[in-house]
Copies of this chain bind each other. A is one copy, B any other.
Amino acid sequence: MGRRLVLASGGVRAEERRAVYTQAIRDAIGDAGRVLFVPHALADHDGTVAKFAEKGLDAGYALDGIHRHDDPVRAVEEAEAIYVGGGNTFRLVAALHRMGVLDAIRRRVRDGMPYVGVSAGSNVACPKLSTTNDMPIVEPPSFETLGLVPFQINPHYFSGSTWRRDADGSYHEHFGETRDDRLREFHEENTTPVLGLYEGAVLVVEENDAGTTMTLLGGPARWLRPGEEPIDFAAGDRLESVIGALE
């Protein structure tokens, strides 16, 4: 049995999107009783665990906060599934390094333990944190992340220009870099492909003896590579023939 990953963009407040997301979690995790939850992308760990349950993002599972364990590596070794929540990716990466759990998570996920990530939790499933949208509020010891998939994910992806809305309801274009500018700059410095996951989109990866399937649910996505035309995917599409095998 190989990797079973649910990698979500976030933006799942709407009932319809949340239903797609939580069904994907249930399909991946099955009848596990307890799910080890990593709340470290946010500052308030107990509050984050409570909020995920309150908003129905627990998909009906009891979330067992890893911050409550004296030995986080052992908690990973004994987990039936792992779920990494959103917030600030730099803070999350610093915590994963501090707890020393990267290798244990990698090993368990390759051996079949289901992994669910949303937003920052999807960022850290990639080789490096480099396609996060977050502010570098803490300095992690390195940008190295879990590398559960061989490509980068950009959560909350969108194309086009950015505007702000003022209190009077008027819109004003914001002249900072657009998301596409930022990802093009990533590809000036890196060759790793990027999957831009629009809000509400969920990538489900299932690896077994017959091969690997990658299914997009809940929203669209865009596949970006340096110097090549982007490829657009719609909810329901299978992506493995474009993305290729897991390494």
Write the residues of chain A forming the contact surface with B, with a CB cutoff of 8 angstroms.
10-11, 13, 43, 87-88, 91, 128-139, 142-143, 156, 158, 160-167, 171, 173-177, 182-183, 185-186, 188-190, 199
**Of the residues B133, B165, B189, contact of A137 by C-beta under 8 Å:** B189
Q: How many Å lie between the Cα of A107 and that of B1 in the bound state?
A: 59
**Residues of chain B contacted by A185 (CB below 8 angstroms):** 43, 87-88, 91, 135, 137
Compute how far the CA of A132 lies from the CA of B134 in the bound complex, rounded to whole angstroms: 10
Contacts of A190 in B (CB 8 A): 137
Interface of A is mostly: loop
A97 to chain B, nearest CB (A): 13
Q: Is the CB of B160 within 8 A of A174?
A: no
Does the CB pair B175–A10 fall under 8 Å?
yes
**Cβ-defined contact, A165 with B171, below 8 A:** yes
CA distance A186 to B135 in the complex (A): 8
Q: Are A166 and B160 in contact (CB under 8 A)?
A: yes
Please pick, from B11, B133, B158, B167, the residue contacting A160 in the complex, using a CB distance under 8 A.
Answer: B167
